[in-house]
Amino acid sequence: MKESTVTGNDSVQSEGHESPFTWLVPVVYDLGAPALFSPLGGWDTLREQALDTFEVRAGEHVLELGCGTGGITEKLIKRGACVTAIDRSEPMLKRARRRAPSATIIRADIRSLQCERRFDRVLLAFVLHHLDAETRMHALRFARRVLAPEGTIGIVDWVKPTGDIRRRCLQIYLTLLEPPCAKDWTDEGFESHLRRAELTILKDRSFARGFVRLVVAGRDTVRADSAERTPGAASHLLAS
C-alpha cells in the first residue's frame, strides 16, 4: 500500500465475531451484482455510464468511499485517475488490491476517517443506502470537507423508480437483500441528504431503467457564505 494522508481506525477487524464464511461475501457480491443488473442494462455498463457522467479526468485525485471489491477502482485507474480507496471489509479489499494494485487501498471505518489532503473527486457508489442516518450524514459531510475548491462528489445509489410495479420490485429487493436503512435512504431521497450536508446538485442522471440515480454535487457556496455572515456560523461549518 502506498503512503497516504488518509487515515482511520482499523479496529473494525476486532468488532464482534467474524463468521467463518466472511470470505464468501466478495464472491457473492461479484457474482450477484452482474446477475441483478443483467435485466437492467448490465452491471459493467452501469459503472461505465456513471463514470462517463462523473467526468473523471486523467491525473485527478479521487477518493472512493466504500470501494468494495474494487470494480470501479480498477476503472478509475484505467482512466488515469490517482485513486485512494476505502472500505471496512478486508475480504473485499483483498480483491480490490488485486484488481487495482496501483491504487492506495486503506482499510478503515468511514466514521473514523481523518484526512490531511483535498481531492478533486469523491465517489460513493452504492454506499449510502448501507449506512444508518447518522453515519450517512457523517460520510457526506466528510466528503464535502475533503473536496478541493472546485471538486465534486459523485453519488450512485438506488432511487424509487416511476410506476407502481417497478416500485414494488425495488421494495421487495430492498426488504429481502438489503439492510433496513436502505428503505430509509430511498424514502428520504437524495435532495434531503444533500441539502443537510450543504451540497448542491450540479448534474443528475438516472440509469438501470430508472432504478439507479447518479448525482454529481458540489459545495453549496451560497448557503455556506450566508452561514459565515451569521453569528456562530464558524462552529457550525467546522461541525459539517
Q: Break the chain into its structural domains and give their ranges.
A: 6-11+21-239
Which three-class secondary structure state does DSSP give residue 2? Answer: coil
Q: How far apart are CA 106 and CA 46, in angstroms?
A: 25
Q: β-strands 199-207, 104-107: how paired? A: unpaired
Residue-level pLDDT at 215: 98
* Domain 6-11+21-239 fold: Rossmann fold (3.40.50)
Type of residue found at 62 = V
Q: What is the pTM assigned to this prediction?
A: 0.86
> Quick one: which of 106, 200, 82, 192 has its CA closest to 144?
200
Mean pLDDT of 49-62: 97
Report the C-alpha gap between 154 and 125 in whole angstroms: 8
Using only C-alpha atoms, what is the Rg of the chain? 18
Is the pLDDT assigned to residue 157 strictly greater than 70? yes
pLDDT at position 233 over 60:
no
pLDDT confidence of residue 116: 86
**Alpha carbon separation from 10 to 21, 87, 225 (Å, rounded):** 21, 10, 36
- Is the pLDDT at 111 greater than 60? The verdict is yes
* Joined grid coordinates for residue 150: 472546485
Cβ-in-10-Å burial (0-12, 13-18, 19+) of 162 comes to: exposed
Mean pLDDT (whole number) for 197-204 = 97
Gap between the Cα atoms of 52 and 57, Å rounded: 10
CB distance 143 to 206 below 8 Å: no
The helix or strand, by DSSP H or E, that contains position 88, with its residue range, turns out to be none
